[in-house]
C-alpha cells in the first residue's frame, strides 16, 4: 500500500474523523451490545453509543489535536489513531485507533501501529500500551494487537447493578 500516507490531524478534518468513527465502530458496537450486561451498557450509553463516541472523539479532537494522526489513501481518510505519552511510566499509549471497514484487512492498522511505535520510541519511551475490551466486537482488534507483538495484561473489570 504505497499510496498510504499518515499525516497530523487538522481542524478541517474534524467531520471526516467523526464520520469515520461511526463507520468504524458500527460493526463493533453491534456485537458489544450483545456481550455486555444491559445495565452497564445502558449506563455508559444512555443516549446510544453513537452519541457517546462522537462526544468522546470530538473532545479528543478539540483538546488534544496534536496527538491525532490520520491515514490517507490518496485524498480519502482510511483511518486514524491517537497517541499519548506517559513519561512517568516510560510508556506511550495508542489510546484510539480506527480503520474504516472499507479499508480493513489491507494493512492500514499495522501501518498506523508502526507509525505509533516509531513516534513513541523516538520520544524515548520504553513500552507501548493499547487497550480494548474482551467482547466479540473487539475480537479483531485484539487479534491485530497480538499479531503486532502486544502481550495481554490480565485485567478483570466487573460490574454489578444496584
Query: In this model, does residue 4 exceed pLDDT 70?
Result: yes
What is the per-residue pLDDT for 55?
95
Mean pLDDT, range 68-87, rounded to an integer: 95
Mean pLDDT, range 50-78, rounded to an integer: 95
Of 32-36, 69-73, 149-153, which one has max mean pLDDT?
Answer: 69-73
Rounded-to-integer distance, Cα 155 and Cα 96, Å: 19
Query: In this model, does residue 15 exceed pLDDT 90?
Result: yes
What is the per-residue pLDDT for 152?
84
Query: In this model, does residue 29 exceed pLDDT 70?
Result: yes
What is the per-residue pLDDT for 132?
85
Q: Provide the CATH number for the domain formed by 4-147 in this structure.
A: 3.40.630.30
What is the per-residue pLDDT for 30?
86
For the chain, give every domain's residue range: 4-147
Interval 111-155: pLDDT, tens: 999 999 999 999 999 999 998 887 777 888 888 888 888 888 888
Mean pLDDT (the chain, rounded): 91
5 torsion bin: left (phi>0), alpha (psi -120 to 50), beta (else): beta
* pLDDT band of 110, cuts 50, 70, 90: very high
What is the per-residue pLDDT for 2?
64
Interval 35-51: pLDDT, tens: 888 999 999 999 999 99
Rounded-to-integer distance, Cα 71 and Cα 50, Å: 22
Percent with pLDDT over 90 in the chain: 65
- 110 CB burial (10 A radius; 0-12, 13-18, 19+): middle
Query: In this model, does residue 19 exceed pLDDT 70?
Result: yes
Amino acid at each position: 500500500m504505497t499510496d498510504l500516507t499518515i499525516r497530523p490531524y487538522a481542524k478541517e478534518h474534524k467531520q471526516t474523523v467523526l464520520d469515520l468513527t461511526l463507520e468504524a465502530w458500527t460493526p463493533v458496537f453491534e456485537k458489544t451490545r450483545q456481550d455486555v450486561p444491559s445495565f452497564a451498557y445502558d449506563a455508559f450509553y444512555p443516549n446510544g453509543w453513537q452519541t457517546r463516541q462522537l462526544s468522546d472523539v470530538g473532545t479528543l479532537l478539540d483538546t488534544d489535536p496534536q496527538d491525532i494522526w490520520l491515514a490517507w489513501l490518496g485524498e480519502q481518510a482510511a483511518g486514524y489513531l491517537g497517541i499519548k505519552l506517559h513519561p512517568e511510566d516510560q510508556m506511550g499509549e495508542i489510546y484510539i485507533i480506527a480503520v474504516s471497514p472499507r479499508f480493513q484487512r489491507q494493512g492500514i492498522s499495522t501501518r498506523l501501529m508502526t507509525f505509533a511505535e516509531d513516534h513513541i520510541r523516538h520520544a524515548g519511551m520504553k513500552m507501548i500500551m493499547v487497550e480494548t475490551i474482551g467482547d466479540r466486537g473487539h475480537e479483531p482488534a485484539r487479534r491485530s494487537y497480538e499479531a503486532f507483538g502486544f502481550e495481554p495484561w490480565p485485567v478483570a473489570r466487573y460490574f454489578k447493578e444496584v
